[in-house]
Amino acid sequence: MHGRPRTAPKPEDSADSAAKAEKLRSLQSQFLSNHHNKIYTKEALEVNAKLLEINPEHYTAWNYRKLAVEHRLSESKPDPDSVKSILREELRVVESALKQNYKSYGAWHHRKWVLNKGHSSIDHELGLLDRFQKVDPRNFHAWDYRRFVAALMNRAEVDELQYTTDMINTNFSNYSAWHNRSILLSNLLKTKVEGFYPKEKVLNEEYELVHQALFTDPDDQSGWFYHLWLLDQTVKADAPLLISSWPARDSNLILSGDRCLDDCALSAFNTFHSDSGKIPLILYFNQAVEGVNSSTISVESVFNTKGELTWKPLSTNNSETAQVWVTHLNYPEEKLHSSEAYSVEVRVGHSQGIISSSGFRYNQPSGFAFKVFVRSVEKDPAVHGEEMISWRDENFILYETRSQESNPLLSLDLLNIKDYHEQTSSMWRAETIANEIALFRELLSVISCKIGKLTLARLLVAHDTLLSPCAKKMVHSEEVIKLYSDLMKLDPPHFQYYKDEYSLVLLQQITFSRESLLRYCFRHRDGASSFMSNSICLRLNNLSLSRMGSSERLLWVQMLDLSHNELQSIEGLEAMQLLSCLNLSDNKLSSFTALGPLILLKSLKVLNVSRNEIGLHSIDTTRYLCSSPLSHTEEIDWNRDEIVTGDVNLRNYWEAFLIFRGLNLTQLDIVGNAIADEKFKSFLVKIVPTLMWLDGGELH
């Protein structure tokens, strides 16, 4: 194991093993007979105890003991002393089993079960834990049990924190002690226990502690993981914040009541065409929240004449908690005048109820407004019906901006500091990150350390993020990209992680400013003759992207080209509710699970997933790598006529059915995937009746 050469067993060892195996078989046979016949005598329990001393991992044997204890406690209703005696015996059996294997899940769980009965003394438990933790200070079973015992004893978290300090000072490499420390400090900071507020003072002391570990032994990972936790505590705001919306704050939204011709007076960034007669309203928070509804969000406009709006979480795992929420405003029944501007005012958090997944309330009520203009442009009589969208390079021309156009990257003001403490906290965060950057630059100038490079990259990203609301550019993005490029070469086993982080930074760099974003904005030559008239195509193709990000800056995008990248999932695209045309061709999408977010893109009309790997792999590993609504827990209401149609059994394509059944696609390209045979195409035509083109061919 771990590179050690195997040695042949000695004859005496083989004899001992054979005898032990024979004894184990005999005990196993007796135990199973007792268990099957529900025999809970003293002799039967002794057989069980001997079996567990040899094999503490025997879960069925532990469950049998629980049944036996319950039987003995209920059968004769013994006096308190007898109850304690029965449970004391259980604790003895557990202790004997732990001496054989002190990392036995079953043994630790059984001990918790006994103590939860409430008849046993817990004074002995911390002493027992001290003995086990001296044998293995990093035994996470013992640390987990320690948290359980401390809760039973109502032991102060401050005292437990001091215990972790002692263990860390004894051995900086004690990862479990660092982990337990992060749990305790999280609770102490959240509840603002005396001595643990303000947060800045406490975290400064923790940085000093972890620096000792990192500079003493840079090759040990325990301190590095704790430093990552500290960085997260430093950067993130406890309370949720609204960071983006569509329409954006102070923007002018232009509604095209019909197909728009190439009208130079219209803003391509803000023009929106809807066949459904609805305007999406999107709220993007910095963390997942719940409680977004008509009582916590108020919307005043002529587009909300019916009062309450229904808000839906854009979550790919069917959760009621999400970072992104959407509702729809209906066009009013009366005719809108093109000469008027219709104001929409949104107030967020004016009443309590929005809560983050970590339990913090949205405590800074905010609001924003935008104006809606209506432009009804007559149809071009030369145009008959829709035309197929082509993604060839020659069909795109670089977008030429106009000075009067509004900025598509307008977002909410994150620097709306309302009191002195918040201002001081923001200054402290930036200064702390800057100090850490200087410190790790110095460390890396002395030694070459992969995890040091990774930490520096994270620090630089955090610093840019903190300064982004008032900065004109991402100062450190080029350096971060270089660091992740180096790490991909230095540490091949973690290549994919570095590649994903590289992709996120590259997207932040591209979307950070209007100037950088415009380099990727194009007009479609055939735009005037399609429903995508006057819209911009954001072309992020050929960038080697393996992961999507920066969706909060791309809520305005209606046409997106992500072709010729290395995407394995499209998680994050669900926030882009305006998407009508999406090109995902020539990526590494290996299953329909990877396409899960498409379910939430109700405006999607054109989709290209050609030349991916869908159907190539027999096992859908993507299901375990990203959240998806495609789970076997979802009930599917199969119509009898849907199950078999001709020679197509739809049960063979149930995942594709879940993806495509709710979409109104007019154009779909799926050629070049292993699954794309004639049977599958027949299936697609049946479940997507709106399809007009499939793999470049017109359907009749």
Straight-line distance from the first to the last Cα atom of the chain, in angstroms, rounded to the nearest whole number: 63
Contact in structure between 606 and 580 (CB atoms under 8 Å)? yes
Q: What is the model's pLDDT at position 631?
A: 47
Residue 418 confidence class, pLDDT cut points 50, 70, 90: very low
Instruction: For residues 247 and 144, state if they share a domain.
Output: no
Instruction: Tell me what the mean pLDDT of segment 598-612 comes to.
Output: 95
pLDDT at residue 265 greater than cutoff 60 = no
pLDDT at 522 (0 to 100) = 93
DSSP label at residue 409 = T
Within-domain flag for 605? no
Contact 379, 258 (CB under 8 A): yes
Q: What is the pLDDT of residues 224-255, one digit of tens each?
A: 999 999 999 998 888 898 999 999 888 888 77
The CATH number that applies at residue 67 is: 1.25.40.120
Domain presence at residue 109 = yes
Among 305-309, 395-399, 669-673, the minimum mean pLDDT is found in 305-309
Q: For position 266, which CATH number holds? A: 2.60.40.1220
Beta bridge partners of 633: none
Mean pLDDT of 257-273: 54
Residue 82 has pLDDT above 60, yes or no: yes
> Band of the pLDDT at 364, cuts 50, 70, 90?
confident
Question: What pLDDT score was predicted for residue 130?
Answer: 83
- pTM of the complete model: 0.84
Is there a single domain that holds both residue 168 and residue 56?
Answer: yes
pLDDT value, residue 274: 67
**Final residue in a domain of this structure, among 138, 172, 206:** 172
* Structural domain contains residue 265: yes
- Residue 374 in this model has a pLDDT that exceeds 90: no
> Which domain, by its residues, includes 312?
242-380
Task: Report which DSSP code applies to 332.
Answer: P
Assess whether 153 and 268 both reside in one domain.
Answer: no
- 118 backbone dihedrals φ, ψ, rounded to 5°: 85, 10
Buried b (16+ CB within 10 A) or exposed e, 327-345: bbbebeeeebeeeeebebe
Burial letters 243-276, b for 16+ CB under 10 A, else e:
bbbbbbbebbbbbbbebbbeeeebbbbbbbbbee
Looking at residue 1, what is its pLDDT? 39
- pLDDT(340) > 60: yes
Amino acid at 590: S
Does 23 share its domain with 165? yes
Do 35 and 133 sit in the same domain of this protein? yes
Picking from 322, 352, 380, the residue at the C-terminal end of a domain is 380
Q: Which of the listed residues 380, 414, 443 is the one where a domain comes to its end?
A: 380
Map 523-539 to HEC letters. Answer: EECCHHHCCCCCCEEEE
**Is residue 113 a part of any domain in this protein?**
yes
Confidence at residue 404, expressed as pLDDT on a 0 to 100 scale: 57
- Residues 43, 154 within the same domain: yes
| Residue 405 placed within a domain | no
Residue 452 has pLDDT above 90, yes or no: yes
Q: Which of 382-396, 398-412, 630-644 has the lowest mean pLDDT?
A: 630-644
pLDDT tier, 468 (very low <50, low <70, confident <90, very high otherwise):
confident
**Per the domain annotation, does 463 fall within a domain?**
no
164 plus 259 within the same structural domain? no
Distance CA 504, CA 510 (A): 10
**pLDDT value of position 528:** 46
pLDDT band at 422 (very low <50, low <70, confident <90, very high): low
Share in percent of the chain as helix, strand, coil (round to 5): 45, 15, 40
In a domain, 267, yes or no: yes
Task: Find the range with the poorest average confidence among 182-196, 278-292, 305-319, 569-583.
Answer: 305-319
The DSSP annotation for 422-491 comes to HHHHHHHHHHHHHHHHHHHHHHHHHS--HHHHHHHHHHHHHHHHHHTTT-SS-TTHHHHHHHHHHHHHH-
Mean pLDDT, the chain, integer:
84
Asked, for residue 285, whether it belongs to a domain, the answer is yes
For 8-39, how does the pLDDT look when each residue is reduced to its tens digit (9 = 90+)? 555 555 666 777 788 888 888 998 999 999 99
Q: What is the pLDDT of residue 498?
A: 97
Lowest pLDDT segment from 170-184, 191-205, 448-462: 191-205
84 band by pLDDT with thresholds 50, 70 and 90 = confident
Question: How many domains is the chain partitioned into structurally?
Answer: 2
- The sign of the torsion formed by the CA atoms of 110, 116, 117, 121 equals positive
161 plus 275 within the same structural domain: no
Backbone torsions φ then ψ of 289, nearest 5 degrees: -135, 165
pLDDT band at 164 (very low <50, low <70, confident <90, very high): very high
